[in-house]
Amino acid sequence: MDLREISEFFRDLSIYVITFVVIALIFIFVVALQPIAGNSMVPTLQEGDVVLVSKFSYRFFDIKRNDIVTLSVNGKSYVKRVIGLPGEDIKFIKNILYIDDNPFTENFLPKDTATSGFTLEDVCKENECPDGKIPDGKYLVLGDNRPESEDSRTKTFGLVSKDQIKGKVFFKIWPLNRLGKLN
């Protein structure tokens, strides 16, 4: 073996090592794979689906209504949809979402989806929401499968803080026949 072969070997090896390090850094700091467990986001996401999560979106952009997010509550990871934003009064009456007393259509839900009625006071203690609005840095999140979702409507879950939201779900990668961007 001559010096040129050794040099080429280390050059090739360094390319593989650099590629591996870059890919590892991307998955540590930029994106994550998230398998979906449970049925709380049906029909948008189903158990066994795998999605990509942007870990840095909310460092540069605001959390918006209808964003699908991954979050941590009581040490468990969940995927939910953001429905209520800070400063808003949210309520469901007769299966209609009202934001600050204005009806809002949830176009992502099938027409026959039923959401049990509730008001912000039902999910937010008076000392947390003294003015009847979602406080700064808090969000109301719901699963798309409303009858079977553990979400902001439950006492153990409640409103979630911005630091509980770990990233924005933006792309479904599995199964391949349902591959695509998520809204």
pLDDT tens-digit profile of 75-93? 899 999 999 999 999 999 9
Residues serving a catalytic function are 40, 80
> Higher model confidence: residue 183 or residue 111?
111
pTM reported for the whole predicted model: 0.83
Rounded distance between C-alpha atoms, residue 37 and residue 110, angstroms: 21
- Spell out the domain ranges in the chain: 3-181
CATH topology of domain 3-181: Umud Fragment, subunit A (2.10.109)
pLDDT tens for 1-50 read 677 888 888 888 888 888 888 877 777 777 888 899 989 999 999 999 99
Q: Is the pLDDT of residue 170 over 80?
A: yes
